[in-house]
Amino acid sequence: MDGSVAVRKRPHRFPRVRSSAVTPIPAGEEEARAFLQERLAFLGKTYTVIDFSFALVSRFVAVPLLGWAGMLLDLNGGIVLSASAIYLVQWLVCRRGRWSERALRLIDAGSSIGAGAVNAGMVFAAVPGELPGLSYGRALLIFTMTLVFRAVIVPSSALRTLALGLLAAAFPVTAAHIWYSSHPSPAIPPVFQTTWTGLWCLGGVVISTLASQVIFGLRRQVREATQLGQYTLLEKIGAGGMGEVYRASHAMLRRPTAVKLLRPGRTSAEHLRRFEREVQLTSRLTHPNTVAVFDYGRTVDGVFYYAMEYLDGVNLEDLVRNEGAQPAGRVRHILRQMAGSLAEAHGVGLIHRDIKPGNVILVPERGGGRDVAKVVDFGLVRDLEQEAEANDDDSFAGTPLYLAPEAVTAPDTVDARSDLYAFGCVGYFLLSGRPVFAGETVVEVVGSHLHARPIPPAQRLGGPVPESLSALILSCLEKDPAPRPASAMTCIATLDACDDVPAWTDEQAAAWWSIEGARLIARAADARTEPSTTGATIMRPRTLLAQTTG
């Protein structure tokens, strides 16, 4: 991953805890209940506005202009007005307070069936000898409109919509049968009218049921796609070689969380095994400068994920790209924190294998410290205690701009000193504003790591660089691992002894984050720059780079 685990982007539930007094409601259930209440309130308001508009038109326009027909419409308007009163009550009840899901389902059923019953009364509004069937047709149109409105607005399963629709349809069908049986027509038998009414209502029920099935199904797919156990995925904030990272919320905990899950297409048994090892190994690390892992698991359909602390900051790649070379005091401050994280990992037999600017996140403050660096994405770590299992003798992994020579020539010999080579590359990048070696292709960059001598940071920067800090960085960049610092702890001791490096104070850090840091975080939220080929993590067969070792 290119460090984006900690960068905020814009847009795109485990067992319930029980106590003797209270049973908390999981966030997913509460969100569904609140959404249902909001939708019922919206349906009530929409229906009320439409029906009141119809009643006003029929009363003040139709009656004066159309006489008997207007009286008929006015009577229909009165019936429609009484039906809208049902939805007016629904709106007023649901727009405030907190109703249980069961109560909301009862309100939904009552208004749907009640409106169907009241609208069926329009069948009896016909005036004998005047416009026969007008009220009857209008009743069926309003009945269908009501069913479709509800299906589109209210979250409901197809089965529930079907059941409510059939119950509501019983009223207009019964009303039509009573009316036409008491007012028989020589041309059209009452049984025909009743059957026709039933078919019309059935059509409305089928349409609303299909609408519910499609809309409810889409809602459920979106909800399931964004929910992992007790974690609800909010927005995608990054992607790496093996996984995608999302900002997430926990059902009951308030701490910010980032969730990483296996990338689509990375579903082979080997990928799953490596992804699971990543979280198991990372969860063993507790250093304050290593990203903290909270939890991990698998979904019912086999997607593996883990939750870690959410870092609202900026990665070193974006820092240098936007701000240029960093002050020597700040570089020492950052490198010392990185070395502390690596020292713990190396101490328990782990190496990172993908140390680079994009995998180090700066956050304004953590645990009382300012300008805190966090090493993230141990996706390529190798457990030295399980060396034989983890290695592939014909492959190498890492990022070309920060790749130790032995990672290409002899991947089976990669150890903690390979991380220190990348550590030196990051320090060089921070001091000079440029990578140690650049090139148009992976082969060119890797070839430079194997054969070229690095230009001193001061010469690359075109300005003074503290000699002690430059010497440490260049010692990390030795081609042969032997002359490099013996360990990350050695790097810490050397950094502490760099007396010619100015201090980076808390006051300086706070001032930087209040202006430049806030601007960078806001910019990162608007757009994300994809890494170049040479700056991205790769895993390739060693034979592809054979020409660089000649």
Residues known to be catalytic: 354
What token pair was written down for 448? 């430079």
What token pair was written down for 8? 């905020």
What token pair was written down for 19? 């106590």
Concatenate the DSSP letters of all residues of 305-353 into one string: EEEEE---SEEHHHHHHHH-SPPHHHHHHHHHHHHHHHHHHHHTTEE-S
Whether the Cβ atoms of residue 294 and residue 229 lie closer than 8 Å to each other? no
230: left (phi over 0), alpha (psi -120 to 50) or beta: alpha
For residue 244, what are the β-bridge partners?
Answer: 239, 261
Whether the Cβ atoms of residue 88 and residue 111 lie closer than 8 Å to each other? no
Tokens 């070193």 found at? 316
Q: If we measure between CA atoms, which residue out of 416, 435, 426, 209 comes closest to residue 330?
A: 426
Query: What's at 119, amino acid-wise?
Result: N
Number of H helices, E strands in the chain: 19, 13
Query: What's at 56, amino acid-wise?
Result: L
The sheet with strand 314-315 has its strands ordered as 314-315, 360-366, 369-375
Concatenate the DSSP letters of all residues of 102-125 into one string: HHHHHHHHHHHHHHHHHHHGGGGG
Using the 8-state DSSP alphabet, how is residue 243 labeled? Answer: E
- Alpha-carbon separation of residue 316 from 2, 61, 123, 356, 371 (angstroms): 10, 71, 74, 8, 12
